[in-house]
A and B are shown apart, each in its own frame.
Chain A
Amino acid sequence: MRYDRPLLDRLTHLLLILGVIVFGLPLWLALTASTHSAGALQSGIAPLWFGGEGLANYWQLLSQPIAGLGVSALRLLANSLVMALGIAIGKIAISLLAAYAIVFFRFPCRTLCFWLIFVTLMLPVEVRIVPTYGVVARFGLIDTYAGMILPLIASATATFLLRQSFMSLPQELFEAARLDGAGPLRFLKDFVLPLSKTNLAALFVIMFLYGWNQYLWPLLAANSPEHATAVISLKNLVQSTDTLPPWQLATAMAVMTVLPPVAVIIAMQRFFVRGLTDTEK
């Protein structure tokens, strides 16, 4: 919609700028604070401009074990990456197959299966945490990557979204491919995947963020520092009983924790833009 009203234009711009400030200020503060020395931050007044200790702070985090945790930030970020990728890829792989089966195959209780999957939307990990912990513990998967990833990789949301996407593929495509001699797996590989590319990219971003931001489950399932994630370490960094927390390190860690999701969004963004202007359906 376009209105030719200068006053309205200014007002909307003002609101947008306010929004940017509200969302951007904490990030900016974290970024600037992470470049000061511990002493400069002791006053309790957050500096609004960069200091000169940036390189040293980040280098310390990446190279030396974090006090109280015993592993470096590199390890934490790697753990987070493994978990987030595992969850995102696992969720997509499973819901892809589930949605494919539901849309393209006629088997008994098809609709029932779909609704059963759908109902699990009401059972996120927070709700089923006690039984889930029990199962994972009995399998001996506490403090393993598998234990951190597996309980989270079934996704009703992704199954539902992919089902909608698959249902919009024309039925004739499937039939033409069948006449050409494509079996079910062929059809999945040669048609469903390439034609759902943009949806899969979007889903991957959402699921990666979901995995990266997990807090409660890794807190329970990863007790040893070797499996701690970046998000959890943030709490450890600001938690010190007798001395002031090392704010310069905590903010540097926060900045580093934000970066991988940003990278994923930027990497996947071209698929969305293509998807909007260049639909192939």
Chain B
Amino acid sequence: MATLTCRQLSKTYPGDHRAVEALDLTLEAGELMVVVGPSGCGKSTLLRMVAGLEAISGGQLIIDGTVANALEPARRGVAMVFQNYALYPHMSVFDNMAYALKLQRRPRAEIERRVHEAATLLGIDALLERRPRHLSGGQRQRVAMGRAIVREPALFLFDEPLSNLDAALRVQMRQEIRRLQQRLGASMLYVTHDQVEAMTLADRLVVMREGRIEQIGTPMSLFEAPASCFVARFIGSPAMNLIPVKRARDGAHLCARLQLSGDPEATARAATLGLRPEHLRLDPQGELAGTVEMIEPLGVDALVHCRLPEHHEPLTARLPMTALAASGIRQQGAIRLAVDGPLHLFDDQDRRLDHAARLTPLPSLFAI
């Protein structure tokens, strides 16, 4: 168990490519921190700097209170699980797991004990004599984790460890990693670009974008209060609807007859309105009127993609199949939805505005 602190950590690749820029981060002891972000945002680079596989261009890397910038990888007390496992192909599973201990010149009996303990923990004790190429993907994944566990590292690093597994196995391994982490009380830094994995595993979640941290927090705090449109799009599946707000002389509108009201600060600065698909409900009196473009049944729920008048961005709602069937809504037909949850407002810099607001339908001109 260790703490990890990054202070203004930066990485500039040759050719002046800034992969990670002035990153500040603290990983508490026993915490599982997940780093997510789109491809190329610098997740692997961050992990490799912590591991010591990549030279640090600037800032400080502090592991357990000591500056580790120039420490040899093996002396940092970190173990890494690679995306393609990087098992040693010419060694048996046992030797794969025992290799680090052998290099540390541990007594034979201790090596045997530690490898067998880890193998039992992961359920691979029957495979110890096999070569990696005679293992299935899931088993290889376990061996890779076993190799990390055996070393009893202060900090585990995972770089998209589950991305080569099929969907069912991924769910199972995800739960196993979580159980294992709680059992060992280990500190882990875990990189993924699967947001479900990120939400379910993380004690805290770091969203990265172009080498910088966009937001850090618990998964639920990121879900409930995304700091920017980027985070809002990234966390949650299906993604949050982001609809531009129109400005008129009498205030902010979503559509011609749907006004944004509430905190004057909010209505004055809001440029984008965010609505979770889960926070929309079928309602004949609902304030949002649109046409259905496509219905995607998921089983219990369906995703209904609608189009609001005057908007190019589709609006997606997650609605129960039963309600949908009862209402007789079909493709290309009209739909009315009511907002049944918080509105998220973002300013013209895509930053979150923490002010209360609501949508108020204006009386129709023709109804007067």
- A interface residues (Cβ-Cβ under 8 A, vs B): 170, 172-173, 175-182, 186, 190-191, 194-195, 280-281
- B223 in the interface (beta carbon within 8 A): no
Do B78 and A179 touch (CB < 8 A)? yes
Taking A176-B80, A180-B151, A181-B103 as known contacts, 20 extra A-B pairs with beta carbons closer than 8 A to each other, sorted by chain A number, are: A170-B84, A172-B82, A172-B84, A173-B88, A175-B80, A177-B88, A178-B74, A179-B52, A179-B74, A179-B78, A180-B74, A180-B100, A181-B74, A190-B99, A191-B88, A195-B89, A195-B90, A280-B89, A280-B90, A281-B89
- B271 in the interface (beta carbon within 8 A): no
Q: Report the separation of the CA atoms of residues A175 and B79 in the bound assembly, to the nearest whole angstrom.
A: 11
B interface size (C-beta, 8 A): 22
Q: Find the residue from B52, B79, B103 having the highest chain A CB count within 10 A.
A: B103
Q: Report the separation of the CA atoms of residues A268 and B167 in the bound assembly, to the nearest whole angstrom.
A: 45
- B51 in the interface (beta carbon within 8 A): yes
- B286 in the interface (beta carbon within 8 A): no
Q: What is the minimal beta-carbon distance from B97 to any residue of chain A, in angstroms?
A: 10
- B247 in the interface (beta carbon within 8 A): no
Chain B's closest residue to A186 (CB) is B103
- Collect the chain A residues with CB atoms within 8 Å of residue B78's CB: 179
Chain A's closest residue to B100 (CB) is A180
Number of A-B residue pairs having CB atoms within 8 Å of each other in the complex: 58
Contact for B131 among A172, A178, A186, A280, CB less than 8 A: A280
Nearest first, the 8 A-B pairs at minimum CB distance are A181-B74, A172-B86, A180-B100, A176-B86, A181-B103, A280-B89, A194-B90, A172-B82
Residue-wise interface mask of B (67-97) relative to A, using a CB-CB cutoff of 8 A (1 in contact, 0 not): 0000001100011101010101110000000
Q: Report the separation of the CA atoms of residues A176 and B157 in the bound assembly, to the nearest whole angstrom.
A: 12
- B53 in the interface (beta carbon within 8 A): yes
Chain A's closest residue to B132 (CB) is A280
Q: What is the minimal beta-carbon distance from A144 to any residue of chain B, in angstroms?
A: 39
Chain A's closest residue to B95 (CB) is A190
Chain A's closest residue to B54 (CB) is A175
- Collect the chain B residues with CB atoms within 8 Å of residue A180's CB: 74, 99-100, 103, 147, 151
Q: What is the minimal beta-carbon distance from A35 to any residue of chain B, in angstroms?
A: 48
Q: Find the residue from B51, B89, B151 having the highest chain A CB count within 10 A.
A: B89
Do B51 and A179 touch (CB < 8 A)? yes
Do B104 and A181 touch (CB < 8 A)? yes
Q: What is the minimal beta-carbon distance from A274 to any residue of chain B, in angstroms?
A: 12
Q: What is the minimal beta-carbon distance from B110 to any residue of chain A, in angstroms?
A: 16
18 contacts between A and B (CB under 8 A): A170-B86, A172-B86, A175-B51, A175-B82, A176-B82, A176-B147, A177-B99, A178-B52, A179-B52, A179-B73, A179-B74, A179-B100, A180-B99, A180-B100, A181-B104, A182-B74, A280-B89, A280-B133
Do A178 and B53 touch (CB < 8 A)? yes
Q: Report the separation of the CA atoms of residues A159 and B102 in the bound assembly, to the nearest whole angstrom.
A: 31
- Collect the chain A residues with CB atoms within 8 Å of residue B147's CB: 176, 180
Chain B's closest residue to A178 (CB) is B73
Chain A's closest residue to B157 (CB) is A179
Question: Knowing A181-B74, A280-B131 touch, does A176 contact B88 (C-beta < 8 A)?
Answer: yes
Residue-wise interface mask of B (111-154) relative to A, using a CB-CB cutoff of 8 A (1 in contact, 0 not): 00000000000000000000101000000000000010001000
